[in-house]
Amino acid sequence: MGKFRELIVYKKGFSLLMEIYTLTKDFPKTEQYSLVDQMRRSSRSVCSSIGEAYKKRRYPNHFISKLTDADMENGETQVWLDVALACNYISTDTYHTLDTECEEISKLLNYMINNPAKFA
């Protein structure tokens, strides 16, 4: 079965985290140690949890647990996007683009959670 970096969900998650990294460079300095850190951390955690899950794929319960961690971090990223929009740090278009990417990631993660045998 290939490497975790070949998974569509990992590629989409990594793309999202890089978009967030670039986007948050322009956030106010007052947000550097709060919103910026939180957005970057949660988006990175999606990918790291996918990598960890994939390495545990022979143990379905561990695999599913790490994938649910990834989905949880993805949900947290969406909350921080809500905050960024409410504070006018991002445009509505940017918000909708990134939120749609989060939703796609969540659907892919849930497919994996519901079909662990396909990844064993």
Is 1 a residue whose pLDDT tops 80? no
- Kindly report the backbone phi and psi dihedral angles of residue 115, in degrees, each rounded to the nearest multiple of 5, phi listed first: -135, 55
Instruction: Provide the whole-model pTM.
Output: 0.95
CA 10 vs CA 5, 44, 46: distances in Å: 6, 11, 8
- Kindly report the backbone phi and psi dihedral angles of residue 86, in degrees, each rounded to the nearest multiple of 5, phi listed first: -60, -30
> Using 50, 70 and 90 to split pLDDT, how confident is the model at 4?
very high
- The answer to whether the beta carbons of residues 41 and 82 sit under 8 Å apart is no
Is 27 a residue whose pLDDT tops 70? yes
35: DSSP letter: I
Q: How many CB atoms lie within 10 A of CB 61?
A: 9
Distance of CA 92 to the CA centre of its chain: 20
Is 21 a residue whose pLDDT tops 90? yes
Which CATH architecture fits 4-115?
Up-down Bundle (1.20)
- The answer to whether the beta carbons of residues 16 and 105 sit under 8 Å apart is yes
The pLDDT value recorded for residue 120 is 86
Is 39 a residue whose pLDDT tops 90? yes
Is 85 a residue whose pLDDT tops 80? yes
Greatest distance between any 2 Cα atoms in the chain = 46
Find the mean pLDDT for residues 87-103: 98
- The answer to whether the beta carbons of residues 87 and 28 sit under 8 Å apart is no
